[in-house]
Amino acid sequence: MKNKIGPKDTRIGWIGTGVMGASMCGNLLSAGYKATIFSRTRAKAEPLIARGATWADSPREVAHQADIIFSIVGYPHDVREVLLGDQGVVAGSQPGSVLVDMTTSEPALAVEIAAICTKKRLVSIDAPVSGGDVGAKGGTLSIMIGGDQATADALEPCWRAMGSTWVWQGGPGAGQHTKMVNQTLVAAGMVGVCEALVYGHRAGLDLERVLQSVASGAAGSWSLTNLGPRIIAGNFDPGFFVEHFVKDMGITLAESQRMGLQLPGLELAARLYQEMVALGHGRKGTHALILALAKLSGVAWEDRQ
């Protein structure tokens, strides 16, 4: 596939209209694409249908009506079901169609899907994203792309509608592996931000003033600048759910084990986040990690003066 895939040439399919998927598909509609959509919960697809998208009753039906089928669902087993199941995309696709899975999922599953697609003369791309609900809504996601490079290039008009950064990272699974790199960075960074704020609080410092000293130098990070003030304010509304992050770190650790890697920082973060779920914080934002870390030190973060 060498030509760019513009809105006039192409029938889009979209599977999964959760917080991320609804905004991303919406941005494709805004760019002029026609879409056929499916989601486990039809109600979540209604706003897109109201904007002209066509409903289909299964991923398989979506594939019948589309040349490029995007998916962004919850867990790897959901990816397996919507792509490879009886009522899945592969079962309904015509040769030449392109499958683009944007779920954060297992690199090995991306490789498996790519191999199955090749046999059926389909092309598959793995393209997980970072940037959260804000990036999805604003079309400023970073899209990490694995799979056939020419296809990735041809999809540029679609990437442009959804993201501000899109980089082809290599063959099948390379997009997923890059996302794992991203999550490893986020995990360690969040542990650091939360421990630093627990320390500063116990030392009696004014934490907002501390941020003025530390945020712009060698200690600075996106997490500190964007989530530090929310942590200090005790606002744990989710930008990204703890329970989804636990899933991502589980995938990263499983892949690490498979590759013979020891990542003690990531292992620690995963343990702390699992503790968060056990404490009932799974639907809070990832920066609520401070609740578990403060508790370790006997600090009731939300009740502190």
Task: Report the site for a copy of itself in 144-183 (rule: CB under 8 A).
Answer: 144, 165, 167, 169-170, 174, 177-178, 180-183
Tokens 């990070």 sit at which residue?
A: 221
Dihedrals phi, psi of 167, to nearest 5 degrees: -135, 125
Taking CB under 8 A as the binding criterion, the range among 9-17, 24-32, 49-57, 217-225 that sits at the site for a copy of itself is 217-225
Determine if 192 is a binding residue for a copy of itself (CB under 8 A). Answer: yes
Q: Token pair of 88, please?
A: 């899945």
Binding mask 257-276 for a copy of itself (x = CB under 8 A): --xxxxxxxx-xx--x----
Q: Token pair of 51, please?
A: 């904007």
Alpha carbons 170 and 128: distance in angstroms, whole number: 13
For residue 70, the SS3 value is strand
Alpha carbons 173 and 251: distance in angstroms, whole number: 13
For residue 178, the SS3 value is helix
Taking CB under 8 A as the binding criterion, the range among 19-27, 64-72, 189-197, 275-283 that sits at the site for a copy of itself is 189-197
Alpha carbons 245 and 31: distance in angstroms, whole number: 30
For residue 13, the SS3 value is strand
179 carries an active-site annotation:
yes
Catalytic residue of the set 120, 179, 284, 295: 179
Determine if 231 is a binding residue for a copy of itself (CB under 8 A). Answer: no
Determine if 252 is a binding residue for a copy of itself (CB under 8 A). Answer: yes
Give min distance, CB of 85 to a copy of itself, in A: 27
Q: Which is nearer to a copy of itself, 57 or 278 (CB)?
A: 278
# chain residues binding a copy of itself, by CB under 8 A: 72
Give min distance, CB of 208 to a copy of itself, in A: 10
Which one-letter amino acid corresponds to residue 263?
Answer: L
Burial (0-12, 13-18, 19+ Cβ within 10 Å), 117? buried
Q: Which is nearer to a copy of itself, 51 or 150 (CB)?
A: 150
Q: Which is nearer to a copy of itself, 37 or 251 (CB)?
A: 251
Alpha carbons 257 and 252: distance in angstroms, whole number: 9
Determine if 187 is a binding residue for a copy of itself (CB under 8 A). Answer: yes
Determine if 191 is a binding residue for a copy of itself (CB under 8 A). Answer: yes
Catalytic positions, written as ranges: 179
